[in-house]
Amino acid sequence: YKNPHYAPGRSTMVHLFEWKWNDIAAECENWLGPHGYGGIQVSPPNENLVIWSKRRPWWERYQPMSYQLTTRSGNEQQFASMVRRCNNAGVRIYVDTVINHMTGTWSENVGTGGNSADFNNFHYPAVPYGRNDFNWPECKIQESDYRCCANRVRNCQLSNLKDLNQGTEHVRQMIVGFMNRFIHMGVAGFRIDAAKHMWPRDLRVIYNRLYNLNTAHGFPAGARPYIFQEVIDLGGEAVSRDEYTPLAAVTDFKFGMELSRAFGGGNQLRYLHNWGPQWGLLAHSDSLVFIDNHDNQRSHGAGGNILTHREPRPYKGAIAFMLAHPYGEPQLMSSFFFHNTEAGPPMDNSGNIISPSFNTDNSCGNGWVCEHRWRQIAQMIQFRNVAAGTTFNNWWDNGSNQIAFCRGGQGFVAFNKDSWDLNATLQTCLPAGRYCDVISGFKRGNCCTGKTITIGNDGRAHISLGANDYDMVIAIHRGEQS
């Protein structure tokens, strides 16, 4: 369950938060496929409660009404067609799976598929679920429970959402059936929402009943779905990430917290020389890593001082480090602009999501940030693909915030977060030649629109990276030699 099964030569998934299925299909063909992306995490595809009283917040999608595949992102047929088109473009789909709970205790009770529920009687006819499928008696998770009481974290309600009992056979069957439908349609795996709030022994039963990935969509025979479990573990809690790593991969929230501290200014870059498990991060093969996610970019979930698109310079630095460094299975966030933390995606007066538009410089309009289209980010995807499987070597630092490292004869990066220029001749691991910096520009024909870096026969190169340069990174790789 720890192999994302990316198509050959690809890596890195992007969370296209609140995108519509038809738009994702086109994005696979027009941008993600051609730029070497490996996959996409999509928003929960199953019916959720419609919450007009809060102006259709983004978080209504985490309140399941049924397992029918009708949401603001589209219907089942559109979902299936997206998976097909994306797989054809070499891009895998991973489903955000909300199976810990069902919606409840809201004044409204109609879902995006037109179904409703009788919350007081725990009756969700469109699944169907009834009273015996939920943990009883009802209790509500308190902040203090996270420190003391694993059983309350698992059996009580997260934000008053009706807590399913995954120990019962009927619930297991409904969940397995729900997930297997996606595998049949050709998805490559799942994000398990709120995994911390479910018992590992129950999850194990569910995972083991999943189909192998669909060979008709290009997966090898016998391939198991990639599963990454959302467990926020910054230490000191009753539930530990170590209970989940024996099952499948786990989201590592320390990763983005520490890189945000380093690139945001709270810590020096030179300390990153031993980045990885020595920093308290998960073992490489267990970890799904990212700088920000849909929760902490708006102070939900783990919160904290996380870098996001709102601070583009250090954010691009942190992302370049994540993508250049071999540690972890990286995920990018692709956002919409928001002024308050509840606001949903760009929508019209009827609540329909408005598609992104695309500008001539490849950026997005209509309220979408599209970090995955930023040149400095998209070109680092190529860097990671070219450097895949190589070693981490030739670390250099100046004793504070200027650092550089090389990737096994394939790529080289340098960063400058100091308030003075970086001007140094550094040892790289690349063959002699002229390389085009993929951060400051791109290669067009034989010409480089950004900085050109020349590596001598001794593998050394003069690197200059001004303190006031537009970006704090230089990155070169074998795929962009001139």
Query: What positions carry a catalytic annotation?
Result: 193, 230
**133 touches Ca ion by CB under 5 A:** no
| Rounded CA separation 468/472 (Å) | 8
Residue 232 touches which member of ligand QV4, Ca ion, none, C-beta under 5-8 Å by kind: ligand QV4
Show contacts with Ca ion in window 360-399 (CB under 5 A): none
Q: Which residue is nearest to ligand QV4 (CB)?
A: 160
Residue 396 touches which member of ligand QV4, Ca ion, none, C-beta under 5-8 Å by kind: none
Residue 270 touches which member of Ca ion, ligand QV4, none, C-beta under 5-8 Å by kind: none
**Which CB sits closer to ligand QV4, 306 or 453?**
306
Residue 296 touches which member of ligand QV4, Ca ion, none, C-beta under 5-8 Å by kind: none
Q: What is the DSSP string of 122-187?
A: TBBTTTTB-GGGB-SS--B--TTHHHH-HHHHHHSBGGG-EEB-TTSHHHHHHHHHHHHHHHHHT-
Residue 54 touches which member of ligand QV4, Ca ion, none, C-beta under 5-8 Å by kind: none
Task: Name, in order, each residue with C-beta under 8 angstroms of 284's C-beta and a sequence gap of 6 or more.
Answer: 276, 277, 326, 327, 328
| Rounded CA separation 387/381 (Å) | 10
Choices 29-37, 159-167, 397-405, 438-446 (CB under 5 A): range interacting with Ca ion: 159-167
**Strand spans (E) along 230-369:** 249-251, 287-289, 329-334, 357-358, 364-365
Residue 96 touches which member of ligand QV4, Ca ion, none, C-beta under 5-8 Å by kind: none
CB 411 within 8 A of CB 354: no
Choices 158-166, 185-193, 266-274, 314-322 (CB under 5 A): range interacting with Ca ion: 158-166
Adjacent-strand bridge partners of 424: 463
Of all helices (H) and strands (E), which one includes residue 192? strand 189-192
The Cβ of residue 150 has, within 10 Å, a number of other Cβ atoms equal to: 16
- Compute the least distance from the CB of residue 46 to ligand QV4, in Å: 12
| Rounded CA separation 317/411 (Å) | 16
Residue in 35, 19, 39 with CA at minimum distance from that of residue 86: 39
- Compute the least distance from the CB of residue 297 to ligand QV4, in Å: 11
Show contacts with Ca ion in window 167-206 (CB under 5 A): 197
**Which CB sits closer to ligand QV4, 295 or 471?**
295
Residue 267 touches which member of Ca ion, ligand QV4, none, C-beta under 5-8 Å by kind: none
- Compute the least distance from the CB of residue 12 to ligand QV4, in Å: 20
- The residues binding ligand QV4 (CB under 6 A) are 59-60, 62-63, 98, 105-106, 158-161, 193-194, 196, 230, 232, 295, 300-301
The Cβ of residue 425 has, within 10 Å, a number of other Cβ atoms equal to: 10
- Compute the least distance from the CB of residue 348 to ligand QV4, in Å: 22
**163 touches Ca ion by CB under 5 A:** yes
Residue 163 touches which member of Ca ion, ligand QV4, none, C-beta under 5-8 Å by kind: Ca ion
Interface with Ca ion (CB under 5 A), residue total 3
- Compute the least distance from the CB of residue 304 to Ca ion, in Å: 24
Task: Name, in order, each residue with C-beta under 8 angstroms of 396's C-beta and a sequence gap of 6 or more.
Answer: 403, 404, 405, 424, 426, 427
Q: Which residue is nearest to Ca ion (CB)?
A: 197
CB 343 within 8 A of CB 57: yes
List the x/- string, 15-54, binding to Ca ion by CB under 5 A.
----------------------------------------
**Which CB sits closer to ligand QV4, 230 or 292?**
230
| Rounded CA separation 339/348 (Å) | 17
**92 touches Ca ion by CB under 5 A:** no
**Which CB sits closer to Ca ion, 172 or 197?**
197
Residue with tokens 């297997």: 180
**Which CB sits closer to ligand QV4, 200 or 276?**
200
- Compute the least distance from the CB of residue 154 to Ca ion, in Å: 5
Long-range contacts of 85-89 (CB under 8 A, 24+ apart): 85/25, 85/28, 85/29, 86/24, 86/25, 86/28, 86/32, 86/33, 86/40, 87/186, 87/217, 87/218, 89/28, 89/29, 89/32, 89/33
**Which CB sits closer to ligand QV4, 80 or 192?**
192
- Compute the least distance from the CB of residue 239 to ligand QV4, in Å: 9
Residue 72 touches which member of Ca ion, ligand QV4, none, C-beta under 5-8 Å by kind: none
**Which CB sits closer to ligand QV4, 147 or 273?**
147
- Compute the least distance from the CB of residue 399 to ligand QV4, in Å: 38
| Rounded CA separation 275/433 (Å) | 29
The Cβ of residue 199 has, within 10 Å, a number of other Cβ atoms equal to: 16
Adjacent-strand bridge partners of 416: 402
- Compute the least distance from the CB of residue 253 to ligand QV4, in Å: 9
Long-range contacts of 441-447 (CB under 8 A, 24+ apart): 442/375, 442/379, 442/480, 443/480, 443/482, 446/482, 447/482
Task: Name, in order, each residue with C-beta under 8 angstroms of 199's C-beta and a sequence gap of 6 or more.
Answer: 154, 166, 167
Q: Phi first, then psi: what are they for 413, rounded to 5°?
A: -135, 150
**Which CB sits closer to ligand QV4, 54 or 270?**
54
**Which CB sits closer to ligand QV4, 297 or 385?**
297
Q: Which positions lie near Ca ion, rule CB under 5 A?
A: 100, 163, 197
